[in-house]
Structure 1
Amino acid sequence: MSTSLTEVLNVLVQWQCTPNQALAIIKLDPDQPFPEVLSEEQCERVNFVLNIHTSLGTAFDDTEEIYGYMSSPHEDPYYEGKSPLELISSGDLTVFERVCWHIDAMRVL
Protein backbone atom coordinates (compact mmCIF):
# COMPACT_ATOMS: atom_id res chain seq x y z
CA MET A 1 0.00 0.00 0.00
CA SER A 2 1.33 3.42 -0.89
CA THR A 3 2.32 5.93 1.76
CA SER A 4 -0.11 8.52 0.37
CA LEU A 5 -3.01 6.04 0.55
CA THR A 6 -2.13 5.28 4.18
CA GLU A 7 -2.00 9.01 4.94
CA VAL A 8 -5.35 9.60 3.23
CA LEU A 9 -7.01 6.74 5.09
CA ASN A 10 -5.76 8.25 8.37
CA VAL A 11 -7.23 11.63 7.38
CA LEU A 12 -10.55 10.00 6.46
CA VAL A 13 -10.68 8.33 9.88
CA GLN A 14 -10.10 11.74 11.50
CA TRP A 15 -12.99 13.10 9.39
CA GLN A 16 -15.20 10.38 10.95
CA CYS A 17 -15.58 8.70 7.60
CA THR A 18 -17.17 5.24 7.50
CA PRO A 19 -15.40 2.40 5.68
CA ASN A 20 -18.01 2.49 2.90
CA GLN A 21 -17.54 6.24 2.51
CA ALA A 22 -13.76 5.77 2.28
CA LEU A 23 -14.19 3.16 -0.46
CA ALA A 24 -16.46 5.51 -2.42
CA ILE A 25 -14.27 8.58 -1.90
CA ILE A 26 -11.09 6.91 -3.16
CA LYS A 27 -12.94 4.54 -5.54
CA LEU A 28 -11.41 1.47 -3.93
CA ASP A 29 -12.63 -2.03 -4.71
CA PRO A 30 -14.20 -3.55 -1.56
CA ASP A 31 -12.67 -6.92 -2.52
CA GLN A 32 -9.20 -5.39 -2.83
CA PRO A 33 -9.20 -2.13 -0.81
CA PHE A 34 -5.41 -1.83 -0.68
CA PRO A 35 -4.15 -2.02 -4.27
CA GLU A 36 -0.43 -2.07 -4.93
CA VAL A 37 -0.85 0.58 -7.62
CA LEU A 38 -3.49 3.32 -7.70
CA SER A 39 -5.23 4.28 -10.92
CA GLU A 40 -4.92 7.82 -12.26
CA GLU A 41 -8.38 8.67 -10.92
CA GLN A 42 -7.58 7.19 -7.50
CA CYS A 43 -4.41 9.29 -7.38
CA GLU A 44 -6.47 12.37 -8.21
CA ARG A 45 -8.88 11.55 -5.40
CA VAL A 46 -5.98 11.02 -2.97
CA ASN A 47 -4.65 14.44 -3.95
CA PHE A 48 -8.07 16.03 -3.38
CA VAL A 49 -8.25 14.59 0.16
CA LEU A 50 -4.72 15.79 0.94
CA ASN A 51 -5.44 19.25 -0.52
CA ILE A 52 -8.67 19.55 1.47
CA HIS A 53 -6.85 18.50 4.63
CA THR A 54 -4.13 21.11 4.01
CA SER A 55 -6.69 23.83 3.25
CA LEU A 56 -8.63 23.07 6.43
CA GLY A 57 -5.40 23.25 8.42
CA THR A 58 -4.78 26.70 6.95
CA ALA A 59 -8.36 27.94 7.38
CA PHE A 60 -8.79 26.82 11.01
CA ASP A 61 -6.59 26.87 14.09
CA ASP A 62 -8.67 24.49 16.17
CA THR A 63 -8.14 20.74 15.63
CA GLU A 64 -11.84 20.04 16.21
CA GLU A 65 -12.74 22.45 13.41
CA ILE A 66 -10.09 21.04 11.10
CA TYR A 67 -11.34 17.47 11.50
CA GLY A 68 -14.99 18.19 12.24
CA TYR A 69 -15.66 20.44 9.25
CA MET A 70 -15.98 17.57 6.79
CA SER A 71 -18.56 15.59 8.78
CA SER A 72 -20.67 18.58 9.88
CA PRO A 73 -23.70 19.71 7.87
CA HIS A 74 -23.38 23.29 6.63
CA GLU A 75 -26.07 25.81 5.76
CA ASP A 76 -23.85 27.34 3.10
CA PRO A 77 -25.87 27.37 -0.15
CA TYR A 78 -23.22 25.21 -1.79
CA TYR A 79 -23.73 22.39 0.74
CA GLU A 80 -27.53 22.78 1.07
CA GLY A 81 -27.51 21.50 4.66
CA LYS A 82 -25.29 18.49 3.88
CA SER A 83 -21.79 17.77 5.07
CA PRO A 84 -18.87 17.96 2.64
CA LEU A 85 -18.16 14.33 3.50
CA GLU A 86 -21.66 13.37 2.42
CA LEU A 87 -21.14 15.13 -0.91
CA ILE A 88 -17.76 13.61 -1.73
CA SER A 89 -19.00 10.17 -0.65
CA SER A 90 -21.32 10.20 -3.65
CA GLY A 91 -18.28 9.13 -5.68
CA ASP A 92 -18.88 11.85 -8.28
CA LEU A 93 -15.46 13.23 -9.19
CA THR A 94 -16.90 16.57 -10.33
CA VAL A 95 -18.61 17.08 -6.96
CA PHE A 96 -15.39 16.08 -5.19
CA GLU A 97 -13.43 18.62 -7.24
CA ARG A 98 -15.93 21.39 -6.48
CA VAL A 99 -15.84 20.66 -2.73
CA CYS A 100 -12.05 20.81 -2.90
CA TRP A 101 -12.17 24.20 -4.66
CA HIS A 102 -14.78 25.52 -2.22
CA ILE A 103 -12.69 24.56 0.80
CA ASP A 104 -9.50 25.84 -0.82
CA ALA A 105 -11.22 29.23 -1.29
CA MET A 106 -11.84 29.40 2.49
CA ARG A 107 -8.11 29.87 3.03
CA VAL A 108 -8.21 33.39 1.62
CA LEU A 109 -11.23 34.60 3.60
Structure 2
Amino acid sequence: MSTGLSDALRILIQWQCTPNQALAILKLDPDQPFPEVLSDEQCERVTFVLNIHSDLGTVFDDPEDVYGYMSRPHDDPYYEGKSPLELISTGDVTLFERVCWHIDSMRVL
Protein backbone atom coordinates (compact mmCIF):
# COMPACT_ATOMS: atom_id res chain seq x y z
CA MET A 1 0.00 0.00 0.00
CA SER A 2 1.36 3.41 -0.93
CA THR A 3 2.31 5.95 1.72
CA GLY A 4 -0.13 8.47 0.23
CA LEU A 5 -3.02 6.01 0.50
CA SER A 6 -2.04 5.17 4.10
CA ASP A 7 -1.91 8.87 4.98
CA ALA A 8 -5.24 9.56 3.27
CA LEU A 9 -6.92 6.68 5.12
CA ARG A 10 -5.52 7.90 8.44
CA ILE A 11 -6.88 11.39 7.73
CA LEU A 12 -10.29 10.04 6.72
CA ILE A 13 -10.49 8.17 10.02
CA GLN A 14 -9.67 11.40 11.86
CA TRP A 15 -12.47 13.10 9.88
CA GLN A 16 -14.83 10.47 11.37
CA CYS A 17 -15.35 8.86 8.00
CA THR A 18 -17.08 5.47 7.83
CA PRO A 19 -15.45 2.62 5.90
CA ASN A 20 -18.09 2.90 3.14
CA GLN A 21 -17.49 6.64 2.87
CA ALA A 22 -13.73 6.05 2.60
CA LEU A 23 -14.27 3.55 -0.21
CA ALA A 24 -16.46 6.03 -2.11
CA ILE A 25 -14.18 9.01 -1.47
CA LEU A 26 -11.06 7.21 -2.67
CA LYS A 27 -12.89 5.12 -5.30
CA LEU A 28 -11.58 1.89 -3.80
CA ASP A 29 -12.96 -1.55 -4.59
CA PRO A 30 -14.51 -3.11 -1.46
CA ASP A 31 -13.09 -6.48 -2.53
CA GLN A 32 -9.58 -5.03 -2.80
CA PRO A 33 -9.45 -1.85 -0.67
CA PHE A 34 -5.64 -1.74 -0.58
CA PRO A 35 -4.48 -2.02 -4.19
CA GLU A 36 -0.78 -2.28 -4.93
CA VAL A 37 -1.13 0.29 -7.72
CA LEU A 38 -3.57 3.19 -7.67
CA SER A 39 -5.37 4.40 -10.78
CA ASP A 40 -4.89 8.01 -11.89
CA GLU A 41 -8.28 8.92 -10.43
CA GLN A 42 -7.47 7.24 -7.11
CA CYS A 43 -4.17 9.16 -6.98
CA GLU A 44 -6.08 12.38 -7.66
CA ARG A 45 -8.52 11.62 -4.83
CA VAL A 46 -5.69 10.80 -2.40
CA THR A 47 -4.09 14.12 -3.36
CA PHE A 48 -7.38 15.95 -2.68
CA VAL A 49 -7.57 14.43 0.82
CA LEU A 50 -3.95 15.34 1.57
CA ASN A 51 -4.39 18.88 0.23
CA ILE A 52 -7.62 19.47 2.15
CA HIS A 53 -5.94 18.27 5.33
CA SER A 54 -2.97 20.56 4.72
CA ASP A 55 -5.23 23.54 3.99
CA LEU A 56 -7.31 22.93 7.12
CA GLY A 57 -4.09 22.86 9.14
CA THR A 58 -3.23 26.26 7.70
CA VAL A 59 -6.69 27.76 8.30
CA PHE A 60 -7.25 26.43 11.83
CA ASP A 61 -5.02 26.27 14.90
CA ASP A 62 -7.24 23.98 16.96
CA PRO A 63 -6.95 20.27 16.04
CA GLU A 64 -10.68 19.89 16.76
CA ASP A 65 -11.37 22.32 13.92
CA VAL A 66 -8.75 20.78 11.64
CA TYR A 67 -10.30 17.32 12.01
CA GLY A 68 -13.90 18.29 12.79
CA TYR A 69 -14.51 20.70 9.92
CA MET A 70 -15.12 17.98 7.37
CA SER A 71 -17.76 16.12 9.41
CA ARG A 72 -19.72 19.16 10.63
CA PRO A 73 -22.69 20.50 8.65
CA HIS A 74 -22.15 24.11 7.58
CA ASP A 75 -24.67 26.90 7.02
CA ASP A 76 -22.46 28.24 4.26
CA PRO A 77 -24.58 28.27 1.07
CA TYR A 78 -21.72 26.45 -0.61
CA TYR A 79 -22.45 23.33 1.48
CA GLU A 80 -26.25 23.78 1.62
CA GLY A 81 -26.39 22.70 5.26
CA LYS A 82 -24.39 19.53 4.63
CA SER A 83 -20.95 18.57 5.79
CA PRO A 84 -18.09 18.56 3.30
CA LEU A 85 -17.70 14.86 4.09
CA GLU A 86 -21.29 14.21 2.95
CA LEU A 87 -20.56 15.91 -0.36
CA ILE A 88 -17.30 14.12 -1.13
CA SER A 89 -18.78 10.79 0.01
CA THR A 90 -21.07 10.82 -3.00
CA GLY A 91 -18.05 9.73 -5.03
CA ASP A 92 -18.61 12.57 -7.51
CA VAL A 93 -15.12 13.81 -8.36
CA THR A 94 -16.52 17.18 -9.47
CA LEU A 95 -17.99 17.79 -6.01
CA PHE A 96 -14.71 16.63 -4.50
CA GLU A 97 -12.80 19.17 -6.62
CA ARG A 98 -15.23 21.93 -5.61
CA VAL A 99 -14.87 21.15 -1.89
CA CYS A 100 -11.09 21.08 -2.28
CA TRP A 101 -11.13 24.42 -4.10
CA HIS A 102 -13.48 25.97 -1.52
CA ILE A 103 -11.30 24.91 1.41
CA ASP A 104 -8.17 26.06 -0.43
CA SER A 105 -9.80 29.48 -0.91
CA MET A 106 -10.33 29.76 2.87
CA ARG A 107 -6.56 30.13 3.27
CA VAL A 108 -6.63 33.59 1.72
CA LEU A 109 -9.57 35.00 3.68
- Decide: shared fold, TM above 0.5: yes
Distance 1:24 1:50 in 2: 16
Equivalent position SS for 2:61 = coil
Residue number in structure 2 paired with 1:98: 98
Which blocks of at least 5 consecutive residues in structure 2 are unaligned? none
Matching of residue 74 in structure 1 with residue 78 in structure 2: no
| Mapping of residues 39-58 of structure 1, within 5 Å | 39-58=39-58
Residue number in structure 2 paired with 1:63: 63
Structure 1 residue 80: deviation in Å? 0.4
Distance 1:85 1:52 in 2: 11
Distance 2:89 2:55 in 1: 19
Calculate the aligned-residue CA RMSD, in Å: 0.3
Which blocks of at least 5 consecutive residues in structure 1 are unaligned? none
Distance 2:6 2:68 in 1: 20
Distance 1:13 1:73 in 2: 17
Distance 2:61 2:83 in 1: 20
Structure 1 residue 99: deviation in Å? 0.2
Equivalent position SS for 1:4 = helix
Residue number in structure 2 paired with 1:25: 25
Name the TM-score, length of structure 1 as normaliser.
0.99
Amino acid at match of 1:77: P
Residue identity over aligned pairs, in percent, reads 80
* Deviation >3 Å, runs of 4+: none
